[in-house]
Amino acid sequence: MSTQTTEFVRAPNAFTDRVTADGSSGWPVEPGRYRLVVSKACPWASRGLISRRLLGLEDVLSVAVADPIQDERSWRFTLDPGDRDPVLGIRFLSEAYYKANPDYTGGISVPALVDIPSGKLVSNDYPQLTIDFATEWRAYHREGAPDLYPEHLRDEIDEVNDAVFTDVNNAVYQAGFAKRPSAYADAYHRLFARLDQLSERLERQRFLVGETITEADIRLFTTLVRFDAVYHNHFKCNRNKLTEMPVLWAYARDLYQQPGFYDTVDFDHIKRHYYGVHTNINPTGIVPLGPDLSGWDTPHGREQLGGRPFGDGTPPLRD
């Protein structure tokens, strides 16, 4: 999520270097070398938090959590003592961007992977980061970690991801930030047409691709978990609430109740960011008191469809 809000929220990423197992990229995978900067409000960054937790990378890849409220200077570390990230020593994420490229003039987005020794941003390529966590970082996965990007399913996962990105992940933003009725209507109709298709798919199978949780489920979940709290009202995606779409609601609860999902979600950060930062949409800055979140812990019944959430592996230990 960028600090420069536009109708089409995800511009091409300016920093696309990769951290690779063999170091051929110039950025080798090394425990403790990199810091993942996230906002718990941001669905694009939340993917990284979930993947990191499911794969057990916590001890080798540290995390910096930004304040959900940014200002014109970018994502800030005001949740930390002295308003500085204790590892990177910076007050604003923009400092890592400018250290990598002093002439950079684009948006400052999360997730951001920062090289700790140099303080330089390595990548803000949010789609590739989680793929790399599942593949390039494999040597440091915990014992029993799931395969979130199994090789024999990658083509299907990529196809599902492309559709979900265009018509769900990004469409909610295109609806919310639309400046023309026609642009809003296009995004709105694409969104709900795709949600209906996904509902039909998930009526027959527990997860989006294969028998286990994959990268595809993570990418859809981060939008669904924000739907009733933000997108339905704030972004005018209001044909239905998630709780009014039985299959998707049960599917989202199934994922939410797994370790690695519920423990990376922060509804307070989510609501304070969207309603507090998007003053062009919500000029009063009032954060709604609802919705009621107790339903997330209710039984979902999805076990009846079979499937094994973590395949031959195990869930991460509960906190």
Query: From the candidates 34, 149, 173, 184, which is the catalytic residue?
Result: 173
Q: Judge whether 227 and 295 are in contact, CB under 8 Å.
A: no
The pTM for the full model equals 0.95
pLDDT at 133: 98
The token pair at 232 is: 């339905």
Q: Judge whether 116 and 33 are in contact, CB under 8 Å.
A: yes
Query: From the candidates 34, 42, 231, 274, which is the catalytic residue?
Result: 42
| Three-state DSSP class for residue 71 | strand
Amino acid at site 240? N
C-alpha separations of 305 from 6, 201, 210, 211, 258 in Å = 40, 12, 12, 10, 16
pLDDT at 303: 97
pLDDT at 318: 78
Does the annotation mark 42 as catalytic?
A: yes
Query: What CA–CA distance (Å, rounded) separates 241 from 85?
Result: 37
The token pair at 120 is: 């330089």
pLDDT at 6: 39
Does the annotation mark 237 as catalytic?
A: no
pLDDT at 182: 98
Q: Any alpha helices (H) in 39-125, and if so which ranges?
A: 43-55, 94-100
pLDDT at 57: 98
Q: In what order do the strands lie in the sheet with 112-115?
A: 62-65, 34-38, 112-115, 121-123
Element (H, E) at 287: none
pLDDT at 1: 61
Tens digits of pLDDT across the chain (319 residues): 654 443 335 555 689 999 999 999 999 999 999 999 999 999 999 999 999 999 999 999 999 999 999 988 899 999 999 999 999 999 999 999 999 999 999 999 999 999 999 999 999 999 999 999 999 999 999 999 999 999 999 999 999 999 999 999 999 999 999 999 999 999 999 999 999 999 999 999 999 999 999 999 999 999 999 999 999 999 999 999 999 999 999 999 999 999 999 999 999 999 999 999 999 999 999 999 999 999 999 999 999 999 999 999 999 987 6
- Torsion, Cα 153 157 158 159, to 10 degrees, reads 110
